[in-house]
Amino acid sequence: MDFDSVTLAASTADLTEEPDAREHADCIEFRMDLADEPLAALEAYDGELPILATNRAEWEGGDAPDAGRLEALAEATAIEPVEAIDVELESILEGDAEDVLETARERGVATVVSAHDFEGTPPRGEIVSTLTEARKHADVAKIAVTAESKADTLALLSATEQMTAHGDPVATMAMGELGSHTRAVAPVYGSKIGYAPVDPGKATAPGQYDLETLSRLVADLG
């Protein structure tokens, strides 16, 4: 999976929803942490869209306990449709993710290294620093913040533009009602991945558009 242009990821914990995403999405973000038997589901997958596998930790807003979490993500890289994985920056900084990163590299699987702030939006310089650190380990550095003002969204978009101008692929978005428009606008400033639920009733983050709407907005603004 390359991220040379904007990639629209349809988020789901149910891979049988893939046919509903084909018209608008470029890949499936499979939330392993929200699925009952994620590796079995990946093995049985016969869809057309490639998969970005995410096994989000409880401490980063997901449902996966630490025990076996990264090992399962490493196992997923051996399954052919999995062309990218998401690894939390914090797990890398703590030294827990070296094996999964190495396994992904050996198997030619792309990496998205992510950070989430559910409390607010750091200053612009801090956003850039986080993305720069994530980029050291990733094909795409991702950050999701929580916007509490228009100034927060401007800081995020400015950081996105700076990283893109330096040639660093990033994925950025602001969660929450105030930040929802950034999911459509950030690609204008260089963000490479947009996320939307296959089922609008099963949003995996606050402020997500439905898949069809996000696809249309990104296309119109691009």
- Give the tens place of pLDDT for each residue, 167-197: 999 999 999 999 999 999 999 999 999 999 9
Residue 2 included in any domain: no
What pTM did the predictor assign?
0.94
Residue 1 included in any domain: no
CATH of the domain at 49: 3.20.20.70
Of 142, 150, 166, 192, catalytic: 142
Helix (H) or strand (E) run with residue 165 in it: helix 150-165
Q: Is 116 a catalytic residue?
A: yes
Residue 183 included in any domain: yes
Arithmetic mean of pLDDT, 111-126: 97
Q: Is 142 a catalytic residue?
A: yes
Residue 61 included in any domain: yes
Q: Which tokens sit at 109?
A: 């699987």
Residue 163 included in any domain: yes
Residue 80's CB is within 10 A of a number of other CB atoms, namely: 11
Residue 144 included in any domain: yes
Of 116, 181, 192, 202, catalytic: 116
pLDDT digits (tens, 9 = 90+) for 35-94: 999 999 999 999 999 999 999 999 999 999 999 999 999 999 999 999 999 999 999 999
Residue 57 included in any domain: yes
Close Cβ partners of 3 (under 8 Å, ≥ 6 residues apart): 110, 139, 140, 169, 171, 192, 193
pLDDT band at 124 (very low <50, low <70, confident <90, very high): very high
Tally of domains in the chain: 1
Residue 211 included in any domain: yes
**Domain limits for position 94:** 7-221
